[in-house]
Amino acid sequence: MKWKPLVVAALLTVAVAYYIYQPLPDAIEKPWKLMMLDATFRTMMHLGFLKEWLDLGHSISSVKSSLESFEGFMTVDSRGGVIPGVKFTDTTFAGVPVRVYEPPAGGEGHLRRGLMYLHGGGWAFGSGKFGTYDSISSMVSDELNCVVVSVDYRLYPEVHFPEPFLDCLAAAKHFLSPEVLARYAIDPERVAVSGDSAGGNLAAAVAQEISTDDGVPVKFSVQALIYPVLQALDFNTPSYVQNQNMAVLPRHTMVRFWLQYLNADLSLLPQFIANNHSSSLHSAFTTELRSRLDWTVLLPPKFKKNHTPLVVEKKGSPEILKKVPGLLDRRAAPLLAEAAAIAKCPRAFIMTCEYDVLRDDGLMYAQRLRDAGVTVSVEHLEDGFHGCFGFIAWPLDFDVGKRAVRAYVSWLQSNL
């Protein structure tokens, strides 16, 4: 009978290995570390769903608590300690919570750079005060002699679109006011807006809104977008298909984030994945509108490969716009903005990752900006995956993450 515990242990080991293991592209470094990270995130989500099923709270609230606990195990600063001289202050801009990072004292009499950062997390998770966001903001403040404002906009499930956007816009207008810029000794000609993932979405939307608002005298001079999510009409772009089962952000998770953000029924997820929501039967999806996210024209040839567009002709859900009106709102989907609005945007840095469902969103936006006459720099990480920009501190340190952060800081150093 002594063999039974060994069999049970062996079966449990196989089950755990099966749960953790996920095929990854050969280019991914430290694949087992990424598998463990992905399994941790999936476990948090599954436990959250279980707690909600047991009426013990909202699943997202549960995941938020788990993520905050997880952050405690990470090294706070990627360079091994607190950056001397950088101070931060928690305050509010137009009623929105922000953390302001100010560079070390010195060089009085010289105006400094300014940067507003909007964190990612699917409009549901995260805070600029946590982990590597805090670390990177400190680093940018120190290395670029820059005042960094990290915005803690409201999140799902407490709010939906457009509230997070409106929070970021209100904070941006406050930051760009001449009085605030003067208070922090910021050069009004050197102010950036930046963000990653859902934060990249908000940064692009805010940049568009500020650029086209004649009532805002000071504009952002640059925008730096890290694998931004920019549209919700086509979930069958080459990158969505190629990376549909990729670790950290598979396609179904990104679609779920969109449904949550737009306050849509989560049961619509299969229809969105099948592109039924953007059927050609919908009169609102005009040819001109579709051209704004036509990847067959906007993507470089190397990313199209042998993929073909999926435009649903005979099926679809004609009532979808009534249920989800935000689908066509440029404040939610900046890629859909008209050319005239895009032409007014500041020059851009866009980072994309090969193994990321959002890769083509960023590349299409880069091309639309170029077509409108805006200067764009694209940093494409051939071995990158979604979220890598934040994975620079032990135990979630990846070389590609460190290279991503260095490319971002270097571009700001030269362009802001």
Is 386 among the residues known to form the active site?
yes
DSSP category for residue 189 = E
Closest to 272 measured CA to CA, from 335, 324, 314: 324
Rounded CA separation 254/352 (Å): 16
Q: Are 388 and 397 in contact (CB under 8 A)?
A: no
Element (H, E) at 225: strand 222-226
**Residue 54: burial class (beta carbons within 10 Å; 0-12, 13-18, 19+):** exposed
Beta strand residue intervals within 75-221, DSSP E: 87-93, 96-102, 112-118, 146-151, 186-196
* 407/388 Cα distance (integer angstroms): 13
d(CA 135, CA 79): 8
| Whole-number Cα distances in Å, 63 to 115, 164, 248, 374 | 29, 19, 14, 39
Tell me the C-alpha distance between 186 and 192, whole Å: 11
The answer to whether 351 touches 411, Cβ cutoff 8 Å, is no
Q: 401 is written with which tokens?
A: 């993450």
How far is the C-alpha of 85 from the C-alpha of 107, rounded, in Å? 13
Of 234, 356, 360, 361, the active-site residue reads: 356
CA-based R_g, the chain, Å:
22
Token pair in block for residue 321: 């716009």
Token output for 37: 């990270």
User: Both tokens of residue 374?
Assistant: 């805006």
Catalytic residue among 174, 277, 282, 386: 386
Active site residue 356: yes
Q: Which of 127, 194, 197, 278 is catalytic?
A: 197
Query: How far is 383 from 28, CA to CA, in rounded Å?
Result: 6
Residues listed for the chain:
416
Q: Which residues are catalytic?
A: 197, 356, 386
